[in-house]
A and B are shown apart, each in its own frame.
Chain A
Amino acid sequence: MMIIMHPGAPREQIDAVIAEIEKHKLSSHPIFGVEQTIIGAVGDGHYVAKEIFEALPGVLSVQRISQPYKLASRQFHEQDSVFQLDGFTVGGTEVPIIAGPCSVESREQILEIAQAVKEAGANALRGGVFKPRTSPYAFQGLGEEGLEYMAEAREKTGLPIVVEVMAVSQIAMMEKYVDVFQLGARNMQNFNLLRAIGETRTPVLFKRGMSATIEEMLMASEYIISGGNTRVMLCERGIRTFETATRNTTDINAIPVLKKLTHLPVIIDPSHSTGDSAYVSAIAKAGVAAGADGVIVEVHNDPAHAISDGKQSLTPEAFARMVKQVKAVAEAVDRRLVPQHVTA
């Protein structure tokens, strides 16, 4: 950490900052310039909040030199994290594709889509049963009944299931059913939920908040990892910008930036990041070309009648075309799709 003092800050203020640094078992390195004094704080400072120094009299600004997260950082874990899910690995050479509807709507709907996405090349099934809808009057999901249907779909297809968890109170019940917890964008900084997920050993698909910086995302993932749950996949799902031609703006830069900063696998969600089925395939390809480790896509057997996210859902046929194109891109960047899943 580097603490920059106001021009002309008196010696007592500088000494107070130095005392504070030493209190945190860090060593201090003051540089006395002509106009300004800069004080370096050296040591393992990732757990020391910079706000402590910002509040001291005479301090102009505080800059972090090392990253404020540790377990998520590539500095402390140089190799890519690769972990096993049912039938495939994430974070290695294989590029898994997770597909399914936004919401589980009925038993027939989820069983039909599960079969269709499996045939088209999906490796895992998504489907929401607790839905964080913008409007409190919109469909809120089938709850545990939906989980039963998802479990049945898994049994029939062999695809592991990815389901969003919205509250700490849902964890114990959901753990019995799901293979991967999805942590939604709106909950990215729900720190109680993050801590509770960190205590489980269920893998997590961790979505970036709509207005969260990459650093904030890594800090939030640190909450889960520090609880001992190391199987976290990060997901870029578009950020909020001034552009209105698409639902969100895919921050494609986030893919190589995250691959550089962290060892965790990075997944792209082109359905939410564009909000329009016409653009999903192009952005899925772009994501894999940029180095993403996987893709999560919304697929619905009848998008026009979907209860939620119909506009951004692909038909099973369009999804099958997308998988073919993504496969070609993956091979062009020396990766490969997961070989077709064998039914359990």
Chain B
Amino acid sequence: MIIMKANATPQEVEAVIAQIKSMGLAVHLSQGVEATIIGAIGETHSIPTERFEGLDGVDIVQRITQPYKLASRQFHPDDSIISLDGFNVGGNQIAVIAGPCSVESRSQIIETAIAVKEAGASALRGGVFKPRTSPYSFQGLGEEGLELLAEAREKTGLPIVVEIMSQVQVDVMVKYVDVLQVGARNMQNFNLLRAIGETRTAVLLKRGLSATIEELLMSAEYILAGGNQRVMLCERGIRTFETSTRNTTDINAIPVLKNLTHLPVILDPSHSTGHADYVAAIARAGIAAGADGLIIEVHPDPAKAVSDGKQSLKPEKFAELVKQVGQIAQIMGRGLASVQGEYSPLKQGWA
């Protein structure tokens, strides 16, 4: 919808109409007493509003339809259900992904994997390439870490979720991981998004620290447009003026996303609060608000974690959280996902 300035000339209005027609769209003109409004009707999601904002006499250009299509519920009314090895995300099952911020050592990741599985986790997280704020902080174990995660998967049957930081890591990562995590700092790394769109590995796309919900959906569209349909969105807190927590959990984003998109929505209460004391309360809130899953940082010894110790739960605390979340899931008519069957290295998959 293009709103003309009050003093726009008939020639300027004509120029806008010509531009709309040249894009194969239909024109709907309404001339009011003070302002002229021109509707552009048709397939507009691929046309930038800038195309009209630059024309003379144009005051405001407002989009009526959403600028994303594949991610939109308008074009895909049913929830997308993404099957991971052993369970589904986006249906009645609530996925609980848990593990340390970083893979630190063989014993650490295997011990954590067994502990989170016993507590009821359905997938294992662990970073091997770490986007640390400081270039001097621990940067991750790299491929060695992937080997350790693969071993943890073999021992527990839990699929593994690992952050990818760069296009050059795609080839090695897809050999190992079940879910590629795109971190908040890379939500608008468009080359990385396109490269992931070309794979067929499931993706956990985290919301950027200062990204709007619409921007998150536009980023998901990059991956979907490449043909990779298996995208899960993740709310991990946004940057606000409040300083008593690391981020502000945008809990509104859960029902808003469920309304706008068919993609599963996961909540990360560890990052969205930054404090272990608040993780369980916000995990319960997320499921009560309609989230399809949780991703939670768990460490066997948070005080000695190389990263994110303050927000990591001990395995016992995590087990309590899973119980509480299970109760909320139940009253929402859902249940916790659990990995079915045993991992079979021969078949490279789950029974």
Contacts and interface: CB of A to CB of B under 8 A. Distances in A.
Among A250, A253, A285, A332, the one with the most B-chain Cβ atoms within 10 Å of its Cβ is A253
Contact of B212 (A244, A255, A257): A244
Nearest to A333: B284
Contacts of A205: none
B1 interface: no
B244 interface: yes
B334 to A, nearest CB: 12
| B interface majority secondary structure | helix
A274 B254 CA distance: 11
B238 A246 contact: no
Interface residues of B, number: 40
Contacts of B26: none
Interface in B200-250: 210, 212-214, 237-238, 240-245, 248-250
Contact of B244 (A250, A257, A259, A325): A257
Contacts of B324: 332-333
B248 A242 contact: no
B256 interface: yes
A170 interface: no
Interface string A224-249: 00000000000000010111111001
A252 B282 CA distance: 7
Interface string B279-297: 0011011111110000000
Interface size class of A (residues with CB under 8 A): 35 or more
Nearest to A285: B288
Contacts of A253: 237, 242, 244-245, 248-249, 272-273, 278, 282
Interface string B185-203: 0000000000000000000
A155 to B, nearest CB: 36
A256 B278 contact: yes
Contact of A241 (B238, B255, B277, B278): B238
B328 interface: yes
A252 B328 contact: no
Contacts of B242: 213-214, 239, 251, 253-254
Nearest to B259: A278
A189 to B, nearest CB: 14
Nearest to B286: A286
Interface of A: 211, 213-215, 239, 241-246, 249-257, 259-261, 273-274, 278-279, 282-283, 285-291, 325, 328-329, 331-333
6 contacts: A252-B249, A257-B244, A260-B278, A273-B252, A332-B330, A333-B324
